[in-house]
Amino acid sequence: MLANTKKILEKARKENYAVGHFNINNMETVQAIVKAAENLKSPVILAISEGAIKYAGLEYLYNLALISSKNSKVPIALHLDHGKDLKIIKRCIKIGFSSVMIDASHENFETNINLTKKIVKLAHKKKISVEAELGTIGGIEDYVSSKKIIYTDPYKAEEFVKRTGCDFLAVAIGTSHGAYKFKGKAHLKIDILKQIQNKVKIPLVLHGASSVPKNIVNLAEKYGANLKGVKGVPEKQLTTSVKNGICKVNTDTDLRISFDAAVRKVIKNQPKDFDPRHILGPARDLIQKTVERKIKILGSDNKA
């Protein structure tokens, strides 16, 4: 059975750690994330974006997650990431996701509240929890893009949560989607996060939280990738965010770069090997390592 996202995150909030949300779009990635979570006895959230649904199909991804959760001893939840299309959100509620995100952060405050309320009503009827977003996270991810970061206003966050009844809140404190998060020094607005945490008593979510690890970037570049200028959130700043109320940390880019680096290495080193299992197997292994590292940083190991 798929786990209950709200239960997983409320426990994390009480015990002051965060649970990893990892984006999936194929079988190897699912297996890598699940194996990492099992190795470290950690709960985990598998996340599907609208882009991933367009690529792989909702039923395929849903069933991969479902099988994983049935065969696993650790809690595995399934979450819709950045739901914008009402039809897709409804399909995810109907099929039985653990939680859905309604992203109406690009709308004005009142419209965001109204759209979020509507989804909360639909989802709660089926005991599915809802993540909403207030403020603007920068960068580009699948169909989600924004040039400007607008920090979440703590007072508005308090009002938003009260009026919508959402279960978790994604906040904008300086992170961006994608691999190019900062031009200069990386900095998250921990002061804003502290103010939000004081006013909002539900789990907070950090998007765009990949660290873009140097060793993985180096490996990808060694085998031909051009990743000039990439920059992620330093791991220390992730730890600080978790100490100050972040309970769910979203990671996609780090998995993509891991996949890319491992595939490039095989193709370059084994030009005569065309077995997809030999090409994708090492990618699965490297993603697993990346996820294990992240789980340890977030402190969710041995919390299952």
Site of interaction with Zn ion (CB under 5 A): 207
| Nearer CB in complex with Zn ion: 101/192 | 101
Provide, rounded to whole angstroms, the least separation between the CB of residue 183 and Zn ion. Answer: 20
Supply the minimum distance, in Å, between the C-beta of residue 265 and Zn ion: 28
Catalytic residue selected from 81, 103, 167, 252? 81
| Catalytic-residue membership of 275 | no
Q: How near is the Cβ of 82 to Zn ion at its closest, in Å?
A: 6
Residues belonging to the chain: 304
Phi-psi bin for 127: left (phi > 0), alpha (psi -120 to 50), beta? left
CB-based contact 26:56 (threshold 8 Å): yes
In the complex, the smallest distance separating the C-beta of residue 113 from Zn ion, rounded to whole angstroms, is: 20
Closest residue to bound Zn ion by CB = 207
At residue 49, φ and ψ (nearest 5 deg) are: -95, 170
Rank residues 175 and 300 by Cβ distance to Zn ion and give the closer one.
175
Residues involved in catalysis = 81
